[in-house]
Amino acid sequence: MQNFLDPAILFFVFGLLAGAIKSNLEIPQPIARFLSLYLLMALGLKGGFALARSGLTAEVAISLGCALLLAVAIPTLGYLLLTRLVSRFDAAAIAATYGSVSAVTFITATQYLDGHGLAFGGHMAAAMALMESPAIVMAVVLANIARRREGSTAHSHSLKSVLHESLTDGAQLLLIGAMAVGLITGPAGEAGLKPFAGDLFKGMLALFLLDMGLLAARNLGSLRGESPKLLAYALLAPPVHASLALGLAWSCGLSAGNGALLMVLAASASYIAVPAVVRIAIPEARPALYFGMSLGLTFPLNILAGIPVYVGLAQRVL
């Protein structure tokens, strides 16, 4: 219940309600884009400053290894299951969506941990960046294989072009660049940028979550008439993926804060980076499925209920 009293979460709920009643309330696209870039830059700076204080440790390397393992395992398992429900192209697109990560879910989780005094490493922002691309590359490879089976190569994309597009994505580069700036400037940079990266952060997050609530409500309609099994996947995959991350974090001895963020990353689904690439690279897939499932169902589930549950489990087990 305490999670619902957080102003940022309440703005998300307000956005859901406004979208549900078809209000004309909206955040102009340029402002929404600015908010997204601000949050990624502020998160990167915070991570860099934290890394400057802690240095590179064994837990940093282990956490990044766990993140990479999950980034490969989750889309692989998802694809094998989803091919029983939808076409190979839709299965590849949805598996990529759920194998990648949601930056906003991760940012909201860091704010939740800060509010509850649970420490976590700044390197987890690097783990988020690391988990974004493998699923995209795997999905395009699987789609190319499916085309060859059907005797069509009309929409095939080279691995080189997909890698370039995934690794040079502006948002991801900004996150990594901001982390590098924070790491290089250290405490002096943190003091100088405190109002920007600290004091403004929660208000900006609240405004962005308002926009996300509006978008989530308006994308639920795209799922009408779809298989109940797909809707069940959108709701059940996050806790299953989080459980995989929890077991991995426990076996590797990660701290509660880092384990909780690993669970959040595993449970989240991309609704920005992956749809942008998949829409071009796998045009045979239906955007209403992979975009509607991730933004209309999985994102609200994680924001409203998932984050506090994942954090609570991490505190109990780790």
Model confidence band, residue 242 (pLDDT cutoffs 50, 70, 90):
very high
Which range has the top average pLDDT, 54-63, 152-161, 233-242, 286-295?
233-242
DSSP string covering 177-218: HHHHHHHHHHHHHHHHTHIIIIITHHHHHHHHHHHHHHHHHH
Q: How far apart are CA 238 and CA 266, in angstroms?
A: 7
Rounded average pLDDT over 294-299: 92
Q: What domains are there in the chain, each with its CATH number? A: 2-317 (1.20.1530.20)
Tell me the torsion sign for CA atoms 169, 172, 175, 179: negative
Supply the pTM of this predicted model. Answer: 0.85
Token pair recorded at residue 294: 């991730």
Tell me the angle at which helices 273-281 and 134-150 cross, rounded to the nearest 10 degrees: 20
Rounded average pLDDT over 29-44: 86
Token pair recorded at residue 79: 């694809």
Q: How far apart are CA 25 and CA 223, in angstroms?
A: 22
Say whether pLDDT at 1 is over 90. no
pLDDT of residue 163: 61
pLDDT of residue 261: 96
CA nearest to 282, candidates 80, 40, 96, 49: 96
pLDDT of residue 208: 87
Say whether pLDDT at 51 is over 90. no
pLDDT of residue 2: 54
Least confident range of 49-53, 167-171, 189-193: 167-171
CA nearest to 263, candidates 76, 63, 39: 63
CA nearest to 134, candidates 274, 312, 298: 274
pLDDT tens for 135-184 read 888 888 888 887 777 766 555 556 566 566 656 667 667 878 888 898 89
The residue that leads in pLDDT, 218 or 150, is: 218
pLDDT of residue 92: 92
The residue that leads in pLDDT, 217 or 165, is: 217
Least confident range of 33-37, 122-126, 278-282: 278-282
Rounded average pLDDT over 197-201: 81
pLDDT of residue 157: 57
Q: How far apart are CA 196 and CA 302, in angstroms?
A: 27
pLDDT of residue 155: 55
Say whether pLDDT at 314 is over 80. yes
**Interior/surface letters 192-228, b for 16+ CB within 10 angstroms, e for the rest:** ebeeebeeebeebbbbbbbbbbbbbbbbbebbeebee
Q: How far apart are CA 282 and CA 302, in angstroms?
A: 27
Which range has the top average pLDDT, 86-100, 132-146, 162-176, 208-222?
86-100
The residue that leads in pLDDT, 132 or 17, is: 17
Say whether pLDDT at 24 is over 80. yes
pLDDT of residue 62: 93
Which range has the top average pLDDT, 75-79, 117-121, 145-149, 211-215?
75-79
Report the chain's C-alpha Rg in angstroms: 19
